[in-house]
Amino acid sequence: MNFDLEFVLVVGVFLTGVIWLLDARWWGPKRRKLAYEAGLSGSTGVADEKADTSIAPWYVEYARSFFPVLLVVLLLRSFVAEPFRIPSGSMMPTLLVGDFILVNKFDFGLRLPLIHTKILPIGEPQRGDVVVFRYPRDPAIDYIKRIIGLPGDTITYDGNKLYINGKLVETKAIGRFPGEGPNHLMGGATVEQEDLPRRNGTVVKHDILIIPGRPVPTGTVVVPKGEYFVMGDNRDDSNDSRYWGFVPQKNLVGRAFLIWFNWDFQDGQADFHRIGDLIH
């Protein structure tokens, strides 16, 4: 069973907000009236706020304390940025196991919590963006990959060669991946720099991992309207669009842009050199 923090936050904000509102409009005034009638208001005839606070039920006190905190967290998480942890190596060498990242939630438009309906269009994903999305086969699971194909693109993957709209995406070998700690399984893989073209004429230069000789799928697809073709930077060890298809726009969560921490759960060590690295 997956823990849905967004659902918990929405329910928490709703319940604490309702309790706070009921207390402000009805329960509180009733308590102050009873306090006055009981002679707790003093000689001025005005209800004593301290007396009101002391007899407020515990759930009212909790609602007063938690409502603003939960509301701020929900707004930040829904419309500004959301943290995620990288649990697998499908995005090596760009992202490593143990990286904690921040995801920009407003680049692709503001969406309502839970129902994810877009309420304010702001921008559209670009080829080369590293994005978090809800896995199409199980939306309760979050995936992170790189956008390779935009709506209308023709994508051909032939072994380790990638073609976009009939043009080969250029790569060059730059070394070997060290594969330390929890990333040791990819040690020795070839690191290549890939020049991924964008529609505006610029190029996104990023590194990918290749394991020579490992079988990989081959095929050609046309990306449907409103959907995206994604791949992991760890090209030979990534469960991505080559295997299960496209990502609908409604499943996009946001664009990954920053590594804010790294913690190796296996060895219990942090890699402080990765803190603050931008994700390209």
Residues marked active site are found at 90, 145
3-state SS record for the chain: CCCCHHHHHHHHHHHHHHHHHHHHHHHHHHHHHHHHHCCCCCCCCCCCHHHHHHCCCHHHHHHHHHHHHHHHHHHHHHHCEEEEECCCCCCCCCCCCCEEEEEECCCCCEECCCCCCEEECCCCCCCCCEEEEECCCCCCCEEEEEEEECCCCEEEEECCEEEECCEECCEEEEEECCCCHHHHHHCCCEEEEEEEECCCCCEEEEEEEECCCCCCCEEEEECCCCEEEEECCECCCCCCHHHHCCEEHHHEEEEEEEEEEEEECCCCEECHHHCCCECC
